[in-house]
Structure 1
Amino acid sequence: MPTVQEFLEILQHITPEHLAEDWDNVGLLVGDSRQPVERVLLALDPTCQLIEEAARGRYDLVLTHHPVIFRPLKTLRTDTVTGRILAEALRNNICLIACHTNFDSVPEGVSGHLASVLGLRRLGPMLPSKSGCPETCGLGQIGEYAAPITAEAFVARIYRALDPPWLLEAGPRPRQVVKVAVCGGSCSDFAEIAGRLNVDAFLTAEVKHSVARWAEDAGLWLLDGGHFSTESLAMQPLCERLRREVQQRGWAVTIEVARQEPPLRLAKRSS
């Protein structure tokens, strides 16, 4: 049975920690690196419900995209949400690992998978990584379609691939779409980069009001597919990659993805 440290070494190969942004917090955040690992649960978000599910399922390790500890803690109170998550994890000997911007930056990470499910080819990063990487690493992805498609067809691809609870747009729709930039999660600050790269569309999430106004004047078609929907699809491919890695090593480790729903939803009007 492998240890958490041996599992971290696999992750270091898939999502190297040196690719994480300076402001980020990744790696083993809770638990003992010497602890044996038999069951692993993956999810996008660290939540109380997730840790309860992990405890019921007797998982030793929980790997999330978003880190449970993001900003430095000044206190550890169990009457807070973060404190409850940490206390429940420690109580049940569950280690917590985060693969955040390091998973964003690898070619087969969050944005790479988002670009692939939309059918984009000839991919490369929007913002290349400054850290060393054997492949082309960086935040966001830019790709192309082999032949132009209509804006309406691109919207249909987003709905089909992501099934988002909403899809917002700003700026003018182009007559055709060939070159596209995508960045899973909150990347509206990259809109000007997308504009300079002369893309026909930029898909991301959590678009700020000021950025949407800028897109109108800049002539950039900007789409907001929601933070959860633009990132969550990448967890299953990561799970499958980890399964192959542990199988090659002959480890009897169960790896599964937890089912999570978007935390935000459209409020329906009462009749």
Structure 2
Amino acid sequence: MSVKLSDVIRSIETVAPKNLAEDWDNVGLQVGASKQVIERILITLDVTVDVVAEAVDKKADLIIAHHPFIFNGLKTLSADYQKGQIITQLIKNDIALYVAHTNLDKAENGLNDYLAHLLGLKSIQTLDPSDPKSYFKLVVYAPAEATDKIIDVFGKNGAGSIGDYDYCTYRSSGIGTFRPLQGANPFIGEVDAITSVDEDRIEAIVPEELLKQLILQLKKNHPYEEMAYDIIPLENGKFINQNGLGKIGRLENPLKSQDFIDHVKKILNLPSLRGAGVIPETIRRVALCSGSGADMIGLAKAKKADVLITGDLKHHDGQRALENNFWVLDAGHFGTEKCVAECFKAIIKAGLKENCPEMIIAEASKDFIINY
């Protein structure tokens, strides 16, 4: 199955819009063109020479990575350096590169949600919520025979997504009136004559970042020369926002601390874990932050977590955990984020459904840190 790269990007950014990313981050399309046709995707945590070689060998058209390959402006593309070699190979083999990083970390149903579900947490909430999204209700008026098409445009462009449901719309019927003026080219009616038409009012909730593109697509597909629509600001974002860093939830059944360690090692397929602080006897409430989240020790403690799971734990992070009478488990940066490949696959499959291209998890994606 082949799709346009723009469709793959839309499926990801419906869940993890770029405006969720931290200011210092660099996300989005880094190599390639959005009109490119994609048949095979290689998914990785990091972009390395070996990962690109695997993409070439497996004839992938697109690499999707979690960590940005290009962070700052490049001063050279010389193949004497690894970055130059990688970019040269990507362009030479017509392989696009797309990155979703902190926007995926912070997104509701993004990486941290995926990790929380993987560990079996229930009643999951965001550990450090970001500012709430702005939501709007978009109302469109159309002749009844066009309603199904309008609803399809709503759904395909991310409108009407509420929790685990999409295509959530409401319609009501009425009579619309209008009079085409001189110079108009009406779909229904005649110039200078008042026309009454059976119309539907179709409405759905839309995040602000998707609103402009949705309206453009609706205008392209609406039968009328001038589409009538209303944009109504909502307060819902204050109540339904779950974007932000980290997650906190509870285990269905409490575990003894050693049993919990074994559980995390098994789920994340890790031979060992590091830890610091004061180990509680029983674990019920669990906080987590994929990658580097030791700065959330205080917040996790304040929200009454029994433990924080993260990576990149440093000496003074351990000291802070001890001083807070709190337990932190270090499952590694790679260990807490390698599940991003399955997370990407799930998001893209949900967005593209039966139009999904082949997706491969990179075998060359490895932990850079080696225990000897």
TM-score, normalising length: structure 2? 0.68
* Post-superposition CA distance 1:12-65 (Å, at most 9, x none): 112211111111111101112221111111111111111111111211111011
1:257 aligns with 2:361: yes
Deviation of 1:71 after TM superposition, in Å, equals 2.8
Partner residue of 1:222 out of 307, 325, 328? 328
Q: For structure 2, which runs of at least 5 residues remain unmatched after alignment?
A: 134-236
Deviation of 1:126 after TM superposition, in Å, equals 1.1
* Post-superposition CA distance 1:188-238 (Å, at most 9, x none): 122222122221100100012111111111111011001111111231132
1:126 aligns with 2:232: no
Q: For structure 1, which runs of at least 5 residues remain unmatched after alignment?
A: none
Letter in 2 for 1:263: F
Classify the secondary structure of the residue corresponding to 1:93. coil
| Counterpart in the other structure of 1:200 | 306
Letter in 1 for 2:370: R
Does the CA-based 8 Å contact 2:66-2:340 persist in structure 1? no
* Post-superposition CA distance 1:139-196 (Å, at most 9, x none): 1100012332211111011111012243101001002111111011111122222122
Higher mean alpha-carbon deviation, 234-243 vs 200-209, is at 234-243
Deviation of 1:244 after TM superposition, in Å, equals 4.2
Does the CA-based 8 Å contact 2:247-2:287 persist in structure 1? yes
Counting only pairs closer than 5 Å after superposition, residues 76-87 of structure 1 correspond to structure 2 as 76-87=77-88
Does the CA-based 8 Å contact 1:61-1:95 persist in structure 2? yes
| Counterpart in the other structure of 2:110 | 109
Instruction: Identify which of structures 1 and 2 has the higher relative contact order when contacts are C-alpha pairs closer than 8 Å and 6+ apart.
Output: 2
1:245 aligns with 2:351: yes
| Counterpart in the other structure of 2:58 | 57
Higher mean alpha-carbon deviation, 91-100 vs 165-174, is at 165-174
**CA distance in structure 2 between the aligned counterparts of 1:209 and 1:113, rounded to whole angstroms:** 28
Does the CA-based 8 Å contact 1:19-1:131 persist in structure 2? no
Counting only pairs closer than 5 Å after superposition, residues 1-271 of structure 1 correspond to structure 2 as 1-130=2-131, 132=133, 135-248=241-354, 250=355, 253-259=357-363, 260-267=365-372
Does the CA-based 8 Å contact 2:66-2:99 persist in structure 1? yes
**CA distance in structure 2 between the aligned counterparts of 1:234 and 1:146, rounded to whole angstroms:** 24
- Which contiguous aligned blocks of 4+ residues in structure 1 show a shift greater than 3 angstroms? none
Supply the RMSD in Å over aligned alpha carbons: 1.7
Deviation of 1:245 after TM superposition, in Å, equals 3.0
Q: How many residues align?
A: 265
* Post-superposition CA distance 1:58-95 (Å, at most 9, x none): 11111011111123323333222222211111111111
| Counterpart in the other structure of 2:162 | none
Higher mean alpha-carbon deviation, 73-82 vs 160-169, is at 73-82
**CA distance in structure 1 between the aligned counterparts of 2:353 and 2:28, rounded to whole angstroms:** 22
Does the CA-based 8 Å contact 2:8-2:348 persist in structure 1? no
Identity score, percent: 32
Does the CA-based 8 Å contact 1:235-1:257 persist in structure 2? yes
**Higher strand residue share:** 2
**CA distance in structure 1 between the aligned counterparts of 2:353 and 2:115, rounded to whole angstroms:** 26
Letter in 1 for 2:30: L
Deviation of 1:261 after TM superposition, in Å, equals 2.9
For the pair shown, which has the larger CA radius of gyration, 1 or 2?
2
